[in-house]
Amino acid sequence: MSRPTSRLLYLLSLLQMRRDWPGSVLAERLDVTPRTVRRDVERLREMGYRITAMKGPDGGYRLDAGAELPPMLFDDEQAVALVVALRAASASGIGIDEPAARALASIRHVLPTRLRHRVDTIDVSTIPATGSSPPPAVDPEVLVAVSAATHRREVLRFAYASDTADRPARRVEPHHVVTASGRWYLLAWDLNEDDWRIYRLDRMAPRTPTGPQFAPRDVPGSNPGTYVAARFKGSGHADQWPCVGEATLALPPEQVIPFAGDGVVTAVGHDKCRLRAGSWSWTALATWFGRFDAEITDVAPEELAHAFTTLADRFRRARALHRAE
């Protein structure tokens, strides 16, 4: 690696890989003398990189964070990953579409031709989940404020969209920020309710200053993502539906699979299938099976069969009331 420019880029990539590098090891990696390493380090400093020289028998160097963003170095895989992430920014639920577009333009401008051709073929379109509207975008400043309080373990004060004007700011111990299906949530211990609560970031307005530091509590089940998913399903701690049942549908599997969600479809001949699914209640699960508009047989367990009876009676009463009108 005799060319100065190539050697400089390689030196920078080495410094980005780990925190501390002995000078002799860098010289060996670059196949140069320690004196040349010192000169190359000075050149990187002139470009804006903060590189600290470490004292000791062998000496060494450390790449530190600087006050300004210096030129960055990415390999091919990193460059492609950045482009994919930036193109999909609109699906993140954070209001960064315009900054992401500017960052993408900046990166594309400096890409070598071979990479530019590759990333130009990446075209990402996002659509909301079936039957739902796009989630409201989260203000990036809200995400930063909530994440900062979570990282520093400081009590967070905020107003919530459903609060009345005269309600005092809520006080919580923020534990984890969780994202799912384009929405962003805060899992926190509510100091007023003395219980775990989940808040949507797009409905939060953080207040300053934050409160005192707190000792983190153990999240039920230890995994915050699993706990939040479980709460969304109406379960206590495990990421599973509290009500799970199955039935045979008079439809071929290929007509059921696209709409089965997290249900499990098993073929029963060419014109029937067995569907196992879950929901937060038995009546909700029975209604979900009914959405396939097909004959339903062999229902299990008994709770699900009873829910079909409950719905049938409810629908008959609704029909009778309609005729009476």
* Per-residue pLDDT tens over the stretch 168-217: 999 999 999 998 877 899 999 999 999 999 999 999 999 999 999 999 99
Cα–Cα distance between 257 and 129 in angstroms, integer?
16
- Cβ-based neighbours of 136, under 8 Å, separated by 6 or more: 202
Confidence of residue 277 (pLDDT cuts 50, 70, 90): very high
Task: Supply the pLDDT for residue 132.
Answer: 55
Confidence of residue 129 (pLDDT cuts 50, 70, 90): low
CATH 1.10.260.40 fits 4-64, yes or no: no
Bridge-based pairing of strands 195-200 and 204-207 is unpaired
Give the tokens for residue 93: 């639920």
Q: Is the pLDDT confidence value at 247 over 50?
A: yes
Confidence of residue 1 (pLDDT cuts 50, 70, 90): very low
The number of residues in the chain equals 325
The mean per-residue pLDDT over the stretch 89-112 comes to 76
Q: Is the pLDDT confidence value at 239 over 80?
A: no
The mean per-residue pLDDT over the stretch 74-96 comes to 76
Residue of 270, 274, 264 lying closest to 296 (CA atoms): 274
Q: Is the pLDDT confidence value at 73 over 70?
A: no
Please provide the average confidence, as pLDDT, over all residues in the chain: 85
Q: What is the pLDDT of residues 7-31, one digit of tens each?
A: 887 888 788 777 788 888 888 888 8
The mean per-residue pLDDT over the stretch 307-314 comes to 94
Q: Is the pLDDT confidence value at 288 over 90?
A: yes
* Residue 62 CA: distances (Å) to CA of 6, 21, 71: 20, 6, 17
The mean per-residue pLDDT over the stretch 135-144 comes to 86
